[in-house]
Structure 1
Amino acid sequence: MHLGTWSTMSAGSAERFDYWKDIVCDTLLHVDAHAAADVSRFSAELSLKSHLAGNFVRFKSQGHTIERSHRLLHAKPDERYLVSYQVSGVASVTQGDHRFQLRPGDVGIVSAARPMSLQFSDPVERIIALVPRSALEKSCPWLSPGVALHLPGEKIATRILSHLLMELSTTETEIGTNEELALGHIISELVGVRPSQDPGSVRDQQLRSRVFGFLTAHIEDPELAPGMVANQIGISERSLHYVLARAGTTFRTFIITERLDRAAEALGSPAWSHNSVSDIAFRLGFQDLSHFSRRFKERFGVPPSSYRLSKTGR
């Protein structure tokens, strides 16, 4: 389904960049944008298509920077992943401890649930698929919002993925429901094909899948600890910490962040409206309410009760 096309040429020269910021926030993601040069000379165009697999955005623009801060995470939470294909130009990507450049042909995956920065020093053209978190993590159990990925364009799986993203962002052909669901599944499976397939990296991927799969499945267990996790998976604590470090996180950071994100989701959900803040905190594995409240405010900028009020009015 074609939902629209926008161009900064429809705005006056002095308003073009502000118009672009509004377009990006309305169609893509709630972000801040900063111009790299004279805003009166800025130009960009964007098209949006929506499929069952997600929303697909294609844009061309002059250089600028896009940022999603903790403030914006609180203002408009979003759990989707951004799977982006670099058509032309270079994108410098920063999310947490992950930093890389996307060059033409490369694909990058970042999470809207974590702060990020995308810098385009020169004109770029990009295609971005906004994919539901649950759909992508089902095929990639090792993936989490704390993991940003760079898929090199020379790999065959990346080339197939980029062609699929291109097609879904431009097609005018009506796609049936079953076909859309199948294409969405293919996108997730292609993301799950890691860049290196030597025996060592395959073992690393399998171990990482086991670690993050176990942590995600048992995130609500208040007794979750490195020794217990390592014992259940059948590895040493040192290996466990190594896997987490390679993913750009630590055991404590991952557990607390995931629990806080689930708490935020519960506080904003009508399904949890009859549960108190303390009940939600304890159910998600926190054992100290004051610690939960402090960490929640650090992450989202407001206490849990205020966060719930802003989302539900209760």
Structure 2
Amino acid sequence: MASLMASNGTDRDMQWSSSNLVGNPALSAWNTVMSDHVAEMTIDSGERSTFEARWKRYGLGPIDIHNFRTAEQTISRTAAMVRRHPDEVYALSYMQQGSAAVVHAGINVHVPQGSFILVNHASPYSFSFPNGAVALTAHMPASWLRRWVPQPETMLVKTFDADAWGGALAAMLSTIDRNGLDDAALPRSCIADQLGAFLALMNGNVTAGESLHQGKLFKRAVTFMKDRFDDPDLSPNMLAAELKISKRYVHKIFAGHNTTFGVELLGLRLNHARDMLHDARFAAYRISDVAYACGFTDPSHFARKFRDKFGLAPLALRHDT
């Protein structure tokens, strides 16, 4: 992935066009240019024989602005690519023309024309542009973005309309696309700060409560834990890998529901143990067998936690059944 240096950014200005190429050579060259100068990805198109694309990049202080004009295409950034280039860079795309189908962090979302979407290059994603597109995209290092949006994870895989402050941001990106930056009256780093301010205003109060994205991830997390609670090795790292998010964000989605991974996992295990102790089919199980079947590795620890939750020792509850 191209480095986003803390400079004026003019040294990163670049443009490319397929105008001198035809068909498959154009698509092949497009793959190379995007992976070398934007982010490692694979691109395919149903219009291989007639594929066309144009790209322009402006360095804007610590961030980059990309203007993409392309025929129908599907972009994929895989887990292997993320491992090779794990830099946490966020990409905010404005669909000036055309729509996109996006898959990111296990969530599918349709991005209509005139809308924004944010993805994180540190997680796999795919974009499909069924009718081609003009997409104006800001690539922002996480360290810079958090100055303006302290919790950018809450904005991931959500669509934002280009109205109110979103309209101001869309107008800014469209002006850069149309006029360039050679005659800009302000230093590029100042323009980048203006973009950050518009993004913070567009985000509004999203971070104040549960986002749709967090809600969906929380439901998926709990479902996965219900299926795997008996695994003694179940951990936040394992859950993060399943949801394709960071361990830090795992803890955040639980905190957004006023709980923790540990609390939820312990509750699932203890509730299942109680059900087993009530069930005559497991009458032959020793208390240690019940503990192991529910993911506990220490029967004594299980007995203490069981008594704390239900007010009875496991054996006493079985005898009361």
Which structure is larger by alpha-carbon Rg, 1 or 2? 2
Aligned residues: 219
- Cα distance change of structure 1 residues 98 and 187 upon mapping to structure 2, 3 Å threshold: farther
Out of 21, 24, 39, which is 2:34 matched to? Answer: 24
Does 1:127 pair with 2:141? no
For residue 158 of structure 1, what is the amino acid of its counterpart?
G
Does 1:66 pair with 2:68? no
- Cα distance change of structure 1 residues 128 and 134 upon mapping to structure 2, 3 Å threshold: same
Deviations 1:109-148 (A, max 9, x none): 1111111110011121111111111111222122228932
- Cα distance change of structure 1 residues 63 and 136 upon mapping to structure 2, 3 Å threshold: same
Out of 205, 208, 212, which is 2:207 matched to? Answer: 205
Alignment-derived partner of residue 176 in structure 2: 168
Please give the alpha-carbon distance, in whole angstroms, between the structure 2 residues aligned to 1:71 and 1:145.
25
Please give the alpha-carbon distance, in whole angstroms, between the structure 1 residues aligned to 2:98 and 2:87.
27
How far off is 1:259 after superposition? 5.0
Alignment-derived partner of residue 11 in structure 1: 21
Deviations 1:14-66 (A, max 9, x none): 311101111211222111111123x1211111111111041111121110100
Please give the alpha-carbon distance, in whole angstroms, between the structure 1 residues aligned to 2:72 and 2:164.
29
User: Structure 1 regions of 5+ residues with no counterpart?
Assistant: 209-241, 262-314
Secondary structure in structure 2 of the residue aligned to 1:77: coil
Q: Does structure 2 conserve the Cα–Cα contact (< 8 Å) formed by 1:110 and 1:149?
A: no
Secondary structure in structure 1 of the residue aligned to 2:13: strand
Deviations 1:65-115 (A, max 9, x none): 001110110122231111111111111111113322222221111111111
For residue 18 of structure 2, what is the amino acid of its counterpart?
T
Out of 184, 193, 196, which is 2:201 matched to? Answer: 193
Q: Does structure 1 conserve the Cα–Cα contact (< 8 Å) formed by 2:14 and 2:57?
A: yes
For residue 167 of structure 2, what is the amino acid of its counterpart?
R
Alignment-derived partner of residue 215 in structure 2: 246
- Cα distance change of structure 1 residues 206 and 26 upon mapping to structure 2, 3 Å threshold: same
User: Structure 2 regions of 5+ residues with no counterpart?
Assistant: 1-9, 223-235, 250-321
Secondary structure in structure 1 of the residue aligned to 2:126: strand
Does 1:107 pair with 2:116? yes
Q: Which moved more, 1:83-92 or 1:99-108?
A: 99-108
For residue 217 of structure 2, what is the amino acid of its counterpart?
G
How far off is 1:160 after superposition? 0.5
How far off is 1:257 after superposition? 5.1
Secondary structure in structure 1 of the residue aligned to 2:193: helix
Cα RMSD for the two superposed structures: 3.1
Please give the alpha-carbon distance, in whole angstroms, between the structure 1 residues aligned to 2:213 and 2:138.
27
How far off is 1:194 after superposition? 5.0
Alignment-derived partner of residue 184 in structure 1: 192
Secondary structure in structure 2 of the residue aligned to 1:248: helix
Alignment-derived partner of residue 35 in structure 1: 45
Deviations 1:218-238 (A, max 9, x none): xxxxxxxxxxxxxxxxxxxxx
| TM-score normalised by L of structure 2 | 0.60
